Amino acid sequence: MKVSICHCRACQRRSGSAFGVAVFYEAGQVTAAGNHKAFLRWGESGKKLEFRFCPCCGSTVYWLPEFRPNLVAIALGCFEDPSGIEPTQSVYDAMQLPWVSLCLRSEGSH
């Protein structure tokens, strides 16, 4: 499991916040059940990202990053208790909003 903060504008817009937070798992560790809506976009990397949303509330549940086809990214806010899940990396830091200040405990920033 890897937990990443993304400061790209697309994640800011998608999350409605200053950044998005993804918890990455190996695809074989994740089983999705129930209905979902899908949205496809191209990321800052130029690779596709396929987002899956709850059709009832519109929340981002998970996404499939083309740049890491063996991984599934789950939105941190979807966990019942996310308090014990801490980010280990930060990406697209050049797009970080100037008032955001983070202290990552391991692996550092990119």
Fold (CATH) for 2-95: 2.170.150
Amino acid identity, position 61: V
d(CA 63, CA 38): 9
- Tokens 């976009």 belong to residue: 41
- Spatial CB neighbours of 81, under 8 Å, sequence gap ≥ 6: none
33-81 pLDDT, tens digit per residue, is 889 899 999 888 888 999 999 999 988 999 999 988 999 999 999 999 9
d(CA 110, CA 108): 7
Domain residue ranges in the chain: 2-95
Residue 21 and residue 75 in contact, taking contact as beta carbons nearer than 8 Å: yes
Mean of pLDDT over the chain: 89
Amino acid identity, position 79: F
| Arithmetic mean of pLDDT, 10-18 | 91
- At residue 107, the pLDDT reads 54
Enter the pTM of the model.
0.84
Closest CA to 53 of 74, 71, 72, 36: 36
Name the percent of the chain lying above pLDDT 70: 95
Q: Strand, helix or coil at 29?
A: helix
